[in-house]
Amino acid sequence: MLGKKLVTAQKRGETRALCLGLGMVACSMMMYFFIGITIVPFYTKSVWTTETVCKVLKANIKDKVFCPNSEGSEDEEIFPYPCLQVWVNLTASGQEVMLYQTEDTLERNPKCSYVPDKLENSKEVKARIETIASNFKKYQTFPCYYDPGGTQTNVILSRLYPAKGLLFAFLWPTLMFTGGCLIIVLVKISQYVSVLSAWQ
């Protein structure tokens, strides 16, 4: 009687472990799919792939401009802010080009190097942009990214999704997938050993 209870409990434990392993594998596949349709296209679409050194030539704050948003956005989402323009010397080619914060900055407003998020306090936005401008004047040499193909003559300060960030995004689903597969393999080995022991 006790032996039957132990066998039943073992089978229940194996079933739960197997379901856990299958669930982990399924969740990791969903995470792979989500990353594949969100992050990977932005990474592959970016042409600023080569890192070089940029030297600041001038950093000026122009008059206030309006932040142009994507089509279909409401008018109240458009807000004025000081336009920071940073021009740098690209050491790879020696050209004088304009610097943008990320790829998204160029799409949102190609006239400004930095586009702030919408903030209710305009003084805070102005203070932040002035701080960024002073930092560029203080640290005049820094790494930046340019397009080796020449389709984009400007440069960006940082990529939205660098290679390290992409690898980090794939790390967690990979660990989950590996753990799920390991659990399934261990359950199958346990079942095989149990059947072999019973047969002997």
Residue 71 pLDDT class (50, 70, 90 cuts):
very low
pTM for this entry: 0.69
Between residues 49 and 178, which one has the greater pLDDT?
178
Identify which has the larger pLDDT, 120 or 26.
26
Quick one: 117 exposed, middle or buried, by C-beta within 10 A (0-12, 13-18, 19+)?
A: exposed
Q: Is the CB of residue 32 less than 8 Å from the CB of residue 173? A: yes
Distance CA 41, CA 17 (A): 36
Neighbours of 30 (CB within 10 A): 11
pLDDT given at position 6: 47
pLDDT tops 70 at residue 196: yes
The pLDDT assigned to 42 comes to: 82
Query: What's the pLDDT score for residue 120?
Result: 60
Mean predicted lDDT score pLDDT of the chain: 81
Residue with tokens 């434990």: 13
Kindly report, residue by residue over 123-170, the tens digit of the pLDDT.
888 888 889 999 888 888 999 999 888 788 899 999 888 888 888 889
| Domain locations in the chain as residue ranges | 50-161, 162-199
CA pair distance 108, 122, nearest whole angstrom: 19
